[in-house]
Homo-oligomer: A and B are copies of this chain.
């Protein structure tokens, strides 16, 4: 598959969910369904046998000469954040397709090859990230997931139902370790390290762990004109203090690679002429240094508690998820690095600040990741961009690595 064709496929996928501002292709949406159907067609065209599991994960498989050998797997996702870009996830799906097509053309390998398109990688719709790979790895929290709702109030079970899937059966999609030999995901970096150092490939050693908290700030709704400033318990003012505290504390910890973000909040009742009575806000903390993450969380909790007391606006903190950094398998890292050497691309070993399906796959099989640069480090944004030359270099390294594992 040559670069014009890779470009054309990426461009075609970008049409599904294209809005006035970026791409909107949430998990289990109609737009994602269109992109999935398009990819299924391409997978079948190159001779992959396509199956879809109980959570909607798509698997395209090419048999090897040894029918009983465990599969060598690559893959990524097609869902996007709201107002997202054209490359996050898509590069790994299209890159995986291109790599398997090349390997097929080179002649039969011992191990089967698989391309997996994971469902619901982005947390933006239901508040849980990398759900598809969690299902494969048996890391499902049925109780919490069953209650998960999107901003329109649609639950995950309802969204699955709309796609003809049943929430009750998703555990059946768990995969046995015996069926898999290795997993490699290709992805855009989503940071600016490669670009800044003029490197083409990142060989990922560890993936930062996200901790997510929801804070609910209780104030007192009141008329914005008739309530004197001194009589107020404005939940949004307390929320503003919390946002600045998260920023400040994360800055203090940033030399250890930890970052903190308030990505969204919701004001109740949310009218111009009402002092806000309640605010819900969501905090995302990440890092590769477990101690630094723990300290950051404790500092945030202490400060929030002070703000709640000072402003007389109680704050409830709910830890939604808390994950440990995940290390890629040394053997896979070495294989990818060797392929980089052989092909002569400029690469570096590095960590991933963003979470990926490879985190969960690493619980099942030796896993690795290949990063390609993205312009300005920008992702989750309409301006997200990766050059076709960098993507083709990534495909070359992915092809070589899968070959080493499957030969």
Query: What residues make up the interface of A, taking CB atoms closer than 8 Å to B?
Result: 21-22, 81-84, 122-124, 127, 129, 151, 189-192, 208, 210, 212, 220-231, 234, 236-237, 239-241, 243-244, 247, 250-251, 254, 259-265, 267-277, 282, 284, 286, 352-355, 377-381
The reply to whether B354 and A226 contact each other, CB–CB distance below 8 Å, is: yes
8 A-B contacts, Cβ less than 8 Å apart? A212-B272, A221-B380, A225-B352, A225-B353, A225-B354, A226-B377, A244-B244, A263-B271
Complex Cα–Cα for A270 and B151 (A): 10
Chain B residue, CB-CB nearest to A246 = B237
| A191 contacts across to B, CB distance below 8 A | 223, 226-228
* Known A-B contacts A225-B208, A268-B83; A274 and B380 likewise in contact (beta carbons under 8 Å): yes
Interface centre among A123, A237, A355 (most CB of B within 10 A): A237
The reply to whether A379 and B240 contact each other, CB–CB distance below 8 Å, is: no
The reply to whether B123 and A222 contact each other, CB–CB distance below 8 Å, is: no
Give me the 3 closest cross-chain CB pairs, A-B, nearest first.
Answer: A124-B271, A226-B353, A190-B226
| A240 contacts across to B, CB distance below 8 A | 239-241, 243-244
Chain B residue, CB-CB nearest to A81 = B271
Complex Cα–Cα for A165 and B127 (A): 42
Closest chain-B Cβ to A153's Cβ sits at a distance in Å of 12
The reply to whether B277 and A224 contact each other, CB–CB distance below 8 Å, is: no
The reply to whether A353 and B286 contact each other, CB–CB distance below 8 Å, is: no
The reply to whether B254 and A222 contact each other, CB–CB distance below 8 Å, is: no
The reply to whether A123 and B210 contact each other, CB–CB distance below 8 Å, is: no
The reply to whether A271 and B264 contact each other, CB–CB distance below 8 Å, is: yes
The reply to whether A263 and B270 contact each other, CB–CB distance below 8 Å, is: yes
The reply to whether B284 and A225 contact each other, CB–CB distance below 8 Å, is: yes
Complex Cα–Cα for A261 and B227 (A): 10
| A225 contacts across to B, CB distance below 8 A | 190, 208, 210, 259, 284, 286, 352-355
Closest chain-B Cβ to A196's Cβ sits at a distance in Å of 10
The reply to whether A274 and B190 contact each other, CB–CB distance below 8 Å, is: no
* Known A-B contacts A122-B271, A212-B272, A282-B272; A224 and B263 likewise in contact (beta carbons under 8 Å): yes
Complex Cα–Cα for A122 and B240 (A): 26
The reply to whether B83 and A378 contact each other, CB–CB distance below 8 Å, is: no
| A83 contacts across to B, CB distance below 8 A | 221, 268-269, 277
The reply to whether A380 and B273 contact each other, CB–CB distance below 8 Å, is: yes
| A265 contacts across to B, CB distance below 8 A | 236, 265, 267
Closest chain-B Cβ to A106's Cβ sits at a distance in Å of 34
Complex Cα–Cα for A341 and B323 (A): 70
| A267 contacts across to B, CB distance below 8 A | 263-265
Chain B residue, CB-CB nearest to A247 = B237
| A262 contacts across to B, CB distance below 8 A | 236-237, 276
Complex Cα–Cα for A259 and B84 (A): 39
Closest chain-B Cβ to A219's Cβ sits at a distance in Å of 11
